[in-house]
Amino acid sequence: MTDTLGLIFILIGVLFDLFGCIGLVRLPDIYNRLQAATKCVTLGTCMILFGLFVITGISSAGILSLLCALFVLFTSPVGAHALARAAHRYGIKLWDGSVTDKYADIDRPEH
């Protein structure tokens, strides 16, 4: 029973990871791609790790996968934030269909 439940979690996780990868290919610019990569891949990976925890129960591997899910949840948005900010500062333009870019209007202190 727990095996089946865990496998269902892993299956859903793999599906969300797949959607994230399709997003990487189909969306037009780095910022939109980061959106797909961050959201889908974070939840997908967390669900795979949680499924592993459901299967193995409270053991070394189970606790490790829970902790890894927690770390992924905390670090992946920070990574996406750093990438998006760095890309914008480097001068990568938004996609042509973008409607507004308030971040380009500010004057930054020179480093």
Partner 1 sequence: MVNRIVYCIMLFAMWLLLTWSPDIENVTAGLFVAVICTVLFGHLFFDNAVRILSPRRVFWFLVYIPFFLMHMVRANLDVAYRVLHVDVPIRPGIVKVKTTLTSDLGLTFLANSITLTPGTLTVDIIGSDMYIHWIYVSTDDPENQTAVIVTRFENIIKRIFE
Q: Which residues 60-79 are close enough to bind partner 1 by CB under 8 A?
A: 60, 63-64, 67, 73-74, 77-78
Q: Decide whether 1 or 78 has the Cβ nearer to partner 1.
A: 78
Q: Which residues 7-46 are close enough to bind partner 1 by CB under 8 A?
A: 16, 19-20, 22-23, 26-29, 31-32, 34-36, 38-40, 42-44
Of 4, 11, 59, 92, which lies in the binding site for partner 1, with binding defined by CB under 8 A? 59
Cβ atoms of 9 and 51 closer than 8 Å: yes
Q: Provide, rounded to whole angstroms, the least separation between the CB of residue 105 and partner 1.
A: 8
Give buried/exposed letters for 4-29 (b at 16+ CB in 10 A, else e).
eebeebbebbeebbeebeebeeebee
Asked whether position 1 contacts partner 1 by CB under 8 A, the answer is no
Q: Provide, rounded to whole angstroms, the least separation between the CB of residue 7 and partner 1.
A: 19
Q: Provide, rounded to whole angstroms, the least separation between the CB of residue 26 and partner 1.
A: 6
Helix (H) or strand (E) holding 4: helix 2-26
Cβ atoms of 43 and 19 closer than 8 Å: no
Residue 89: phi and psi, rounded to 5, are -70, -30
Q: Decide whether 1 or 86 has the Cβ nearer to partner 1.
A: 86
Amino acid identity for residue 36 in this structure: A
